Structure 1
Amino acid sequence: MPEYRPSVDEYRQTLKLREEHIRESWVKAMEARIVRRELQDCYNTEGVNNIEVCYDLAQKYLAMIRDNKVKGYKVIDQE
């Protein structure tokens, strides 16, 4: 059975796509970190009204930490 070996251009393209994927993943994670800081500032400045005032920001942060995790390039099935 012949072994498939990618060409140099295919390998470079794969590396480029991998770097872009990882970069985008880190950008999303850092956006979540910024929203967390804003939420902390909101809680600290609003005092007793923080639950009402910061609710939208808290919901946005919860959605971001659910979706914006740093993910690797390879996906391994664990069934």
Structure 2
Amino acid sequence: VHSVNAPVHIAGMDVAPGEIIHMDENGACKFPAECAEKVLENVIKLLEEEGDRIGQLQKASSAAEIRAIFGGKGYAATGDDGDE
């Protein structure tokens, strides 16, 4: 152990003491520990929205219905997919 409670560089970002890191196969992000409650609220909301969306997608029978379900709300949506 070289030091404790010191800034580190991990996954291409600087992380200071008191910051929380979340990493998975999609990447990494960090946020201040005091924001953990708000992050949790946002995660719960996202999970609910995803559950609703998955249910709608399972019932969809055309590409047009699928596009309507996403309605520009994809995770990396730019607002213009160029095919309309």
TM bucket (normalised to shorter chain) is 0.3 to 0.5
Larger Rg: 1
Higher normalized helix content (fraction of residues): 1
Query: What TM-score, normalized by structure 1, do the two folds share?
Result: 0.41
Query: What TM-score, normalized by structure 2, do the two folds share?
Result: 0.39
